[in-house]
Amino acid sequence: MTELRQNLITRDWVIIASERSKRPHEFAPPLSKLEPLPTYRDDCPFCPGNEHLTGTQECLRLADNGGWRVRVVGNKYPALSDVGQRVRHGEGIFKSLSGVGYHEVVIEHPRHDLNIALMDIKDISNILRVYRQRYGELRKDPRVETIIIFKNHGGSAGTSLEHPHSQIAALPIVPYQWRDRAREAVRYYDDTGECLFCRTLKDELKAGDRIIYAGEHFAAFIPYAALSPFHTWVFPRNHASSFDEITDLEIEDLAQTLKVVMSQFYFGLNNPDFNYTIRSIPTAEQRTDYFHWYIAIIPRVSLTAGFELGSGMYINTSVPEESAEFLRSVKIPSSI
Amino acid sequence: MTELRQNLITRDWVIIASERSKRPHEFAPPLSKLEPLPTYRDDCPFCPGNEHLTGTQECLRLADNGGWRVRVVGNKYPALSDVGQRVRHGEGIFKSLSGVGYHEVVIEHPRHDLNIALMDIKDISNILRVYRQRYGELRKDPRVETIIIFKNHGGSAGTSLEHPHSQIAALPIVPYQWRDRAREAVRYYDDTGECLFCRTLKDELKAGDRIIYAGEHFAAFIPYAALSPFHTWVFPRNHASSFDEITDLEIEDLAQTLKVVMSQFYFGLNNPDFNYTIRSIPTAEQRTDYFHWYIAIIPRVSLTAGFELGSGMYINTSVPEESAEFLRSVKIPSSI
C-alpha cells in the first residue's frame, strides 16, 4: 500500500508510491552527461572576451585582475522591464498590471565548463555575495514587491545555455502562492509561538534519516513529504526572513553546503538537469518571526502529468529516506 | 513592455511575455507526429484480444457484439489501493495517511491508433458516459473524498502508452489546492451572489476574442490569464458542481465540443502532447452555488523552470488572444 504525506509548509499532499518506485540510481540520466564541456566557446555570450555578444547592460561586475569573476547583466528577453510605473487595469474578471520590474542574469564564472559541483568554495561564495548585493539593490526600488533568485540547469529545466548562470527576477506583485503559504505560516506561529520552518528543521535534524548534509549554519534535507524525487531543501539554522540578511560567515558555510549537495547530485545522479530557487519574504516585510528564507533544489528527473495538474497533488515514485541514504553514500572524488 | 494578468479562479499571476513570444504555429512539434499509428499491436495490453496482458481486474465493460467499446481496468501500478481503512498518523510535522482509494484506467477505444480528434462523436460520448458511471460508483465509497479524471497523451505529458486511455483517481483526502481555491470561490460568491465560474464564462463569451468554440451547452476558451500556451478551459453553461451531474444531452454536446477542440490542437499544432483533467467538487459536497465543474486542457508545448518553481507564478510566451485566433482558423479535414 502507498502512503500519503502532507507537507506542512506547502500544505500539499503527496503520494509516496513506493510500489512503483525506482531504485535511486535509476533516476540518473546516461553517463554521457558527465562528459566535460569546453572551457571556452567563441560563440558563447557569457564567455570572457564575448561581452559584446551579451547585448544588454551590465549591472554588476566582480572585477579580477583586469577580468571578472562574476558578472550580472540584463536578460536579453526580459520578462519584466524597469521603465515606467506600475499601472493596474481591471474590468470584471480581467485584472492586469504593467510588467514593471527587473530580470537579470548572473554569469557565475568565466569558465564555460564549470558548475557548482566543480567550482571552488571561493567561487561559490562570490556568486552568493553577488546575489546578496543585487538583492539589496533591487529591494530599494519601491515598485519591487518580491525578489526571486533561481537557476535553470539543462534542457528539461528550461535552459539551452551551457555557461553557468542563474537569474534574478524582481516582481511588482506578491505571488498568490506566497500569500497563501504566508497565511498558513502565520497561523502556525500564532497557534504555537514557533516558526514552522525552524520547527521543520528541528524535527528533520532529530529524525536524521532524510538529512543529506548538515553544516554549522545550514542543513540540507529531502523533506518528509518531498513532492518529487530528490527534491531538496536547504535551510539556514539561524532564523531570518530574507536572503539578504545572510552574513559573510554564513555565506562561507552555504557555499560549502551547496558544493557538497551539488556534488552528490552531480556524481550520484550523473549531472541531472535541475532548478534551484531562493525563497525570501516579500520586500515590504522584514525580520518576521513567522517566515524563514530557504533554498529549494529540484532535480528534473520526473514529469508532472494529468494527476498533478488536476489535483495540485503529487505522486513521488521515490522514497525520501532511501533517496537521502543514497545521496549520503555518493563517493565524491577528492580531487575536486 | 510585458503585462501581468491575474487569473481570478486560480488567483495565480502570469507574465504574458509578448516580446519573447513565438508565433502560434511555432509551438507545434514536427509534422512526423501526424504519422498514423497501427490500428492494432500484438504487444499492446489495451488492444482487443490482449485483455490477458492488462494484468488487473476489469471494473466496467461497455459491450458491443461480443467485443467492447470501452473498458475500465485497475491501474497496473496503482497510486492508491481499495483495500483497508484510512489510517492517519501524525507526530509533529510528520503527517501521513494510508493510500486508500481507487486508481483506474479507461481504455477509450478498441483501436490503437485513434484519439479524440479522430474518433466519432458516438465514441467520445461513450467515453464520457463511462466516466460518469465510474464517478457515480466511486463516490459511494465513504473513504473517497475527491475524484479526478485525467488524461496523459504523449511522452512529455507523462505516458509512454500509445493506445488511447485516460485515468480516474479517487482520493481519500481533499487536496489543499482545492481547499484554497474553494475558499476564494466562496468569498466571491459571498461578496457578489454570483458563481465566479459562471461570471468568468459570461465575461469571456462577451469579450469573445479568446473563445475557441461555443456550443449549446459548453464553451471552450483560452482564459484571459492562461498560465501556459494554449491552456484551454471547457466550461458547462449550466451551473453544476460535479461532473456526474452531466445529462445525456450535455454529454452529446460535450463530445462535439471536445472533438472540435482536440481537432484544432491535432491539426493546428501537429498532435501535441497534452493533459486534460476534469475538476469537480469533493464528494461530500453537492450542488453548491459557488463551485462549477470544468475541464482543463494543457498542451505540453512549454516547460516550467526555476521562475515558476520559485514563485508559483508563470511566464506565458504566447498571447491568449492570438492563440485563440490561430485555433479558430485551423482547417479541419471534412473527412474525419
Domain boundaries, chain B: 3-328
CA distance B156 to B33: 13
CB of A97 within 8 Å of a chain B CB? The answer is yes
CA distance A175 to A64: 38
Q: What is residue B18's predicted lDDT score, i.e. its pLDDT?
A: 75
Q: Place A229 in a pLDDT band, splitting at 50, 70 and 90.
A: very high
Active-site residue (options: A103, A165, A231, A239): A165
Q: Tell which residue, B157, B153, B110, B105, has the closest CA to residue B130.
A: B105
Joined grid coordinates for residue A167: 537569474
Residue contacts between A and B (CB atoms, under 8 Å): 235
Residues of A in contact with B10 (CB under 8 A): 176
CB A306 within 8 Å of CB A332: no
Tell me which chain B residue has its CA closest to the CA of residue A159: B305
A109 labelled catalytic: no
Q: What is residue A24's predicted lDDT score, i.e. its pLDDT?
A: 86
Residue A256 makes CB contacts below 8 A (sequence gap 6+) with A121, A215
CA distance A161 to A37: 12
Which helix or strand (DSSP H or E) is residue A278 part of?
strand A274-279
Q: In what order do the strands lie in the sheet with A314-316?
A: A314-316, A13-16, A3-6, B94-98, B88-91
Name residue A217's amino acid.
Answer: H
**DSSP strand pairing (B146-153 vs A146-153):** unpaired
Residues of B in contact with A95 (CB under 8 A): 5-6, 8, 225
Q: Whose grid coordinates read 471547457?
A: B234
Distance from CA of A336 to the nearest CA of B (A): 27
Name residue B44's amino acid.
Answer: C
Residue A44 has pLDDT above 80, yes or no: yes
Task: Choose the mutation target among B9, B93, B230, B280 for the interface with A, i.e. most A CBs under 10 Å.
Answer: B93
Residue A140 has pLDDT above 70, yes or no: yes
**DSSP strand pairing (A314-316 vs A13-16):** parallel
Taking only Cα atoms into account, the Rg of chain A, rounded to an integer number of angstroms, comes to: 20
Facing B148 at nearest CB: one of A149, A225, A310: A310
Q: Provide the 10 A C-beta neighbour count for residue B188.
A: 20
Q: In what order do the strands lie in the sheet with A88-91?
A: A88-91, A94-98, B3-6, B13-16, B314-316
Question: Could you read off the pLDDT of A57-96 as tens digits, one per residue?
Answer: 999 999 998 899 999 999 998 999 999 999 999 888 999 9
Residue B33 is classified by DSSP as: G
Residues annotated within a binding site of A for Zn(2+): 44, 47, 112, 163
Residues of B in contact with A314 (CB under 8 A): none
CA distance A228 to B170: 21
CATH fold label, B3-328? HIT family, subunit A (3.30.428)
Q: Tell which residue, B324, B299, B269, has the closest CA to residue B151.
A: B299
Whole-complex ipTM:
0.94
Say yes or no for a CB contact (<8 Å) between A178 and B20.
Answer: no
Residues 120-179, chain A, touching B (beta carbon < 8 A) = 146, 148-152, 156-159, 166-167, 169, 171-173, 175-178
CA atoms within 13 A on the CB side of B70: 24
Task: Choose the mutation target among A7, A10, A12, A15 for the interface with B, i.e. most B CBs under 10 Å.
Answer: A15
Q: What is residue B34's predicted lDDT score, i.e. its pLDDT?
A: 87
Facing A97 at nearest CB: one of B4, B20, B93: B4
Say yes or no for a CB contact (<8 Å) between A152 and B305.
Answer: yes
Helices B320-328 and B248-268 sit at what angle, rounded to 10 degrees? 100
CB of B31 within 8 Å of a chain A CB? The answer is no
Facing A309 at nearest CB: one of B4, B96, B296: B296
Question: Could you read off the pLDDT of A250-295 as tens digits, one per residue?
Answer: 999 999 999 999 999 999 999 999 999 999 999 999 899 999 999 9
Residues 202-241, chain A, touching B (beta carbon < 8 A) = 203-204, 207, 224-225
Name residue B226's amino acid.
Answer: A
Q: What is residue B159's predicted lDDT score, i.e. its pLDDT?
A: 92
Q: In what order do the strands lie in the sheet with B274-279?
A: B58-64, B67-74, B102-107, B165-171, B146-153, B274-279, B294-299, B232-236, B218-221, B211-214
Q: What is residue B336's predicted lDDT score, i.e. its pLDDT?
A: 62
Q: Tell which residue, B210, B34, B3, has the closest CA to residue A87.
A: B3
CA distance A59 to A37: 27
Q: How far apart are the first and last CA of chain A?
A: 42
Question: Could you read off the pLDDT of B271-294 as tens digits, one per residue?
Answer: 999 999 999 999 999 889 999 999
Residue B187 makes CB contacts below 8 A (sequence gap 6+) with none
Phi, psi for residue A51 in degrees, rounded to 5 = -55, -30
Q: Tell which residue, A269, A57, A33, has the closest CA to residue A162.
A: A33
Say yes or no for a CB contact (<8 Å) between B171 and A315.
Answer: no
Higher pLDDT, A277 or A26: A277
Phi, psi for residue B246 in degrees, rounded to 5 = -65, 135
Output b/e per residue, B67-80; b: 16+ Cβ within 10 A.
ebbbbbbbbeebbb
Facing B96 at nearest CB: one of A3, A83, A92: A3
Facing A4 at nearest CB: one of B8, B96, B167: B96
Q: Tell which residue, A41, A28, A21, A109, has the closest CA to residue A273.
A: A28
Q: What is residue B334's predicted lDDT score, i.e. its pLDDT?
A: 79
CB A313 within 8 Å of CB B175: yes
Higher pLDDT, A19 or A9: A9
Q: Tell which residue, A46, A39, A101, A35, has the closest CA to residue A70.
A: A46
Joined grid coordinates for residue B44: 499492446
Rounded to 5°, the CA angle B117-B118-B121 comes to: 85
Q: What is residue B165's predicted lDDT score, i.e. its pLDDT?
A: 98
SS3 A190: helix
Tens of pLDDT, residue by residue, chain B (336 residues): 899 999 999 999 999 987 767 788 888 888 888 889 999 999 999 999 999 998 899 999 999 988 999 999 999 989 999 999 999 998 889 999 999 999 999 999 999 999 999 999 999 999 999 999 999 999 999 999 999 999 999 999 999 899 999 999 999 999 999 999 999 999 999 999 999 999 999 999 999 999 999 999 999 999 999 999 999 999 999 999 999 999 999 999 999 999 999 999 999 999 999 999 999 999 999 889 999 999 999 999 999 999 999 999 999 999 999 999 999 999 998 766
CA distance A227 to A215: 24
Say yes or no for a CB contact (<8 Å) between B311 and A171.
Answer: yes
Higher pLDDT, A174 or B18: A174
Q: Place A32 in a pLDDT band, splitting at 50, 70 and 90.
A: confident
Name the residues of B annotated as catalytic.
165
Is the dihedral angle over the CA atoms B302, B307, B312, B313 positive or is it negative?
negative
Output b/e per residue, B268-289; b: 16+ Cβ within 10 A.
bbbbbbbbbbbbbbbbeeeebe
Task: Choose the mutation target among B16, B228, B311, B318 for the interface with A, i.e. most A CBs under 10 Å.
Answer: B311
Q: What is residue A336's predicted lDDT score, i.e. its pLDDT?
A: 62
